[in-house]
Amino acid sequence: MLPSVHRLRDHRDFAAASRGRRAGSPLLVVHAHPCAAGTVARVGFVVSRKVGNSVVRNRVKRRLRALMAAHLEELPAGYDIVVRANPAAAQADYLTLGSSLAKLLPRVLQRPQHFEVGP
């Protein structure tokens, strides 16, 4: 279960996170956007009706929540992350979703390189 403090709830936060870095696969699209410094990482999920009926959507959300709960210690503080499920996620098993998520998270959480310009 994803702890309450790590849940993204407000639609404005979802919109802001969706404007951040993005990485995708046929199963998932992961968005990450830095928010207030010092806050814990928050995660939200978007699973539309295109994925399937309510039973299928809820199963995909439960799997994604469990997978993200396992990655909480790896997430840097101060990031809002949105995981969007594509329709192919409905047929994917737990391990396939997990490997897709594990590949996408590092790609969106890479901090840009800052180069110092000397005199």
Q: How many helices (H) and strands (E) does the chain have?
A: 3, 4
Sites in the chain below the pLDDT cut of 50: 112-119
What is the residue extent of each domain of the chain? 4-109
Length of the chain, in residues: 119
pLDDT digits 0-9 by tens, 22-33: 999 999 999 999
Is the Cβ–Cβ distance between 24 and 30 less than 8 Å? yes
**Residue 46 backbone phi and psi in degrees, to 5:** -125, 115
Where would I find the beta strands (DSSP E) of the chain? 21-24, 28-34, 42-46, 79-85
Distance in angstroms (rounded) separating the CA atoms of residues 30 and 27: 10
Structure tokens at 20: 């951040």
What CATH class is the domain 4-109? alpha beta
For residue 27, the model assigns a pLDDT of 96
